[in-house]
A and B are shown apart, each in its own frame.
Chain A
Amino acid sequence: MLQEELKYVQEMLALGNTALFLDVYPLHRFYMVRGYEEMKECLAERRKIENDVIWPIAERVGFGIAQREILDTFAYIDQGEISDSVYEMARHEQLNILQPALYDVERFALLMRGTQAGDVISVVTGLFSGLPEEIQLTLASQCKAPDTKKVTFSRNPIADLANKDQRMEFVSRAAEQFDRLLKNPTTYDQLRASIIKIASGGGIE
């Protein structure tokens, strides 16, 4: 039973990650190629290509809905306010994509509520060793990163990943730590190397 639950959680997390990428990457690409002025004009039209794109969560989340968080994100990027844009985009991801796609699904939410207690945690870091592990985000290409390059969800045994504002605080800590790593020349170089490794299909040590 536990194996089944682990598999289910892993599949759901993979689905969430895929959906986020499919939503966020084309937006950034469009901005990069066409700029903000055209994005303002075209954002509301994006929904019309739902049947022409890969969108694995169509049953729960409509593709390409023009929420204002997206416009705000790219307005900040356009103004060079990158840190502000990160928060606006993170909110869009949590509210408009992940919440309806994953956390409003009762079975998944129930499993994630118990996660910090140690039942289904191993799957989050991809380890089926049976040893409970905490939820953490790794800011490098390694699955097991040193302390400076990982962010722990919570030390609280009843922390709830299905809770939106607890998740947002986790995202915030990750963003701030990532920012600090980028501002330090040594860790900047290490992160850059990690990202290049991932982009070329390598990494994930």
Chain B
Amino acid sequence: MRKWCLGLLFVVLAVLIVYLNRDSGEIGTIDLHIGKPYKDVLRDSTFPVKSETAMRATTPQVEDSTWITRPAIVKFDDPKHGFTLPPTKFGAIGYNRGKVTTFTTSPMLETLPFDQVIPLFNNLQEMLKDSGWTLEKIGSNALIKASSEAEKNALQLLLFKHAETVIFFIPHKYSLALTIKCYARCNERDVKTAKYLIDVSVGRDYSNR
């Protein structure tokens, strides 16, 4: 009788563990902007921010960073300059003194070939422009153009040498680096086999403009 009870208990526990670890299929959102309090990020996000947050070993402990290792959608929820990024499974949000200071992510679930990464990159540039982000006037900073065949060919060659970055900003508020880089099989210099990643990195604006 006792064995039977223990067996039943084991089955119930196993079912419970499977149930609690089930994948709901929905991708959680992380709702943030630079300067937003951590407790508000917790309140507004459906992604399990708290369980993915590393704490600093201070007394008392304070939150340091949230690490994205499973699919999530980052929503930059500034009322005037907000945007929503495509799903990601890589990135981190940094906090200092209880507020978001930086976040860096690759807004894609896998590396993409050139002909698929370019439309995504163009969409991100357009989305930022539409949300009121402008180009910071530093160095040779300019939009990356890859519409015509000639522009695409030039960009392919460039990306085999180094990453390309466009810096957007909202004066006195935010700064954003949008980067496209070759990530896999780059040494072969073959655009048919190379895979690419996009990085979005956001922080405060430190420009004097």
Q: Judge if B88 is at the interface, Cβ distance under 8 Å.
A: no
* Residue from A64, A67, A169, A175 in contact with B201 in the complex, judged by beta carbons closer than 8 Å: A67
* Residue from B56, B90, B91 in contact with A172 in the complex, judged by beta carbons closer than 8 Å: B56
Contact residues in A for B90 (Cβ distance below 8 Å): 99
Task: Report Cα–Cα, A66/B140, bound state, in Å.
Answer: 14
Contact residues in B for A62 (Cβ distance below 8 Å): 162-163, 179, 181-182
Q: Judge if A96 is at the interface, Cβ distance under 8 Å.
A: yes
Instruction: Give a binary string over B162-194; 1 marks a CB under 8 Å from any A CB, 0 the rest.
Output: 111101000000011101011100110000000
Task: Report Cα–Cα, A80/B101, bound state, in Å.
Answer: 17
Interface of B is mostly: strand
* Residue from A41, A63, A72, A168 in contact with B101 in the complex, judged by beta carbons closer than 8 Å: A72
Which of the four size classes fits the interface of chain A?
Answer: 35 or more
Q: Contact: A164 with B67, CB < 8 Å?
A: yes
Of residues 36 through 93 on chain B, the ones whose CB sits less than 8 Å from some CB of chain A are 52-58, 64-65, 67, 69, 90-92
* Residue from B69, B104, B176, B203 in contact with A96 in the complex, judged by beta carbons closer than 8 Å: B104
Q: Judge if B116 is at the interface, Cβ distance under 8 Å.
A: no
CB distance from A202 to the nearest CB of B (A): 31
* Residue from A48, A50, A172 in contact with B64 in the complex, judged by beta carbons closer than 8 Å: A172
Contact residues in B for A67 (Cβ distance below 8 Å): 102, 104, 177, 199, 201
Q: Contact: B139 with A68, CB < 8 Å?
A: no
Q: Contact: A168 with B54, CB < 8 Å?
A: yes
Q: Judge if A7 is at the interface, Cβ distance under 8 Å.
A: no
**Interface on B for A, CB 8 Å cutoff?**
52-58, 64-65, 67, 69, 90-92, 94, 96-97, 101-102, 104, 138-141, 161-165, 167, 175-177, 179, 181-183, 186-187, 199, 201-204, 206-208
